[in-house]
A and B are shown apart, each in its own frame.
Chain A
């Protein structure tokens, strides 16, 4: 071997894989988290294979209006004569996509701000801290509603943007305090003595030690995003022509499904939202066990 860069890089990759493997196996070892993983997998599969799984198109109408469940339409039809089951399956796409996209973007922002805020000292840090705390205490949903109201019918991209604006602060705070803890650890000082740059120290020494917290922040942000997306669309602040669980409920309420007694139309989309959000919460039970051994399964007393 003539150069060490390749083996070093290969080792780094192996190290990263090992970390991912460790997280995955710890999550899987927690029975609750295992249920969450299975649930989430079902939703992801449904979203991915919607064209094959759904009996009809998402906006395909012309069926009997406001019908109850039948062999042809298991969950009945909407007031516009669309198949409810098909809409549920297609709707999974929006929730899963918004959850993961908004969760991921919010987490990236949280990581960047949390790490730099935690690593740097001085007045700048205080100002960032004040802004983060401001975003933490300002009620998120009302802020989203106000912003979404100005950006009329912006569609899914707008909804993701609005969720990210209000959703990054929590993760930033958690990651910041962990960064501060790690920053004062000897191995970080040692890396400085070994001549490493701040950039390298943050990304090679500190960041890899926070993978479980970051994973937790991601699932937390994704859960919040799924619920917020549904809430905004329920209020009619998204694009009401997209088929999603939130808009289904919006139309259900607007078409007086309550009065007509079509409870399935109300029940099914909401249950899906709840189950998807629950699956992420359950996975986070397993993630909690990684970053906090005291929370691992088993009898404490």
Chain B
């Protein structure tokens, strides 16, 4: 229990640090992002004093009182009030973010867990059958796959399965004609559209889990408790799963938390290629249009999501390792 509380404290501290980093980032940059943003916004019409204040609180104003801005900024974060986007004028930034968020969370979340489970199982098998083709194939394949750029796989799949093969839609999260409702046909449509992005993330992230688990398990296979379990005549499957793999999954889980950021980053590129309306695609649009308020809000949202996911992994670790319970 103290373990969970300590991790929770750590989460809050890290969240605060991430929010603060987000505050300083635009202020450390050359030029004035706030002025640039207001200038862009004024192309859409007159900018109200309130909007100007909101943007300045978020992006900084030269010579302003930093502490005052910081307090104002924290208020913004807590109330999720990030002003208006000029790319999608007059949509509110917070609305845009909240609309896009579920697409990414569901897509990346499900695929990542799936990739972790499949990759871990293959890694276990590779380590157990070390030196055979069942080891060589996945490790070589895995290291090759993990070196593939996300967007390249996305482009290739899109080209061959989308444009050439016409097997999957080439863009969007649902058919333009589909009516959003809780029905089998609509969910099917969603899955149909998410298939290629999901496959891309799966292919590129699988290699890392395979290699990580294989190496961790080769280590535990050399541990004394595995030798002793063999000396006691336990069945091979028990030794492999309950002794070697069960211990090897702990370091792999730590790696999972740290690699999550990489997967989320990769999904931005994937969403951009597929025009999938998640956080990544939105971020790409914000970046291209230099929509700083939207960009800052998105970056904060991505960071917070990853931190929370990391916290959940930590808690799972605590459940799996009795040594943290003491």
Contact = CB atoms under 8 A, between A and B. Distances in A.
A266 B157 CA distance: 11
Interface string B19-50: 00100011001110100000000000000000
B4 interface: no
B163 A259 contact: yes
Contacts of B140: 32
Contact of B287 (A134, A145, A271): A145
B299 A143 contact: yes
Contacts of B222: 294, 300
B193 to A, nearest CB: 17
A49 interface: no
Contact of A263 (B14, B144, B159, B283): B159
Interface stretch (B72-80, B116-124, B179-187, B303-311): B303-311
A231 B163 contact: no
A139 B264 contact: yes
Interface in A77-98: none
A295 B215 CA distance: 7
A130 interface: yes
A246 to B, nearest CB: 9
A89 B140 CA distance: 26
A75 to B, nearest CB: 16
B107 interface: no
B288 interface: yes
Contact of A300 (B150, B155, B162, B218): B218
A263 B155 CA distance: 9
Interface of A: 32, 130, 133-134, 136-143, 145-147, 149-152, 170, 223, 227, 230-231, 234-237, 249, 252-253, 258-259, 261, 263, 266-267, 269-271, 273-275, 277-278, 280-282, 285, 288, 292, 294-295, 298-301
12 contacts: A133-B14, A134-B14, A134-B17, A149-B287, A150-B30, A231-B265, A231-B266, A267-B156, A278-B143, A292-B219, A295-B215, A300-B221
Q: Which 8 A-B pairs have the closest CB atoms?
A: A141-B265, A270-B152, A277-B147, A139-B261, A299-B131, A150-B29, A300-B130, A278-B147
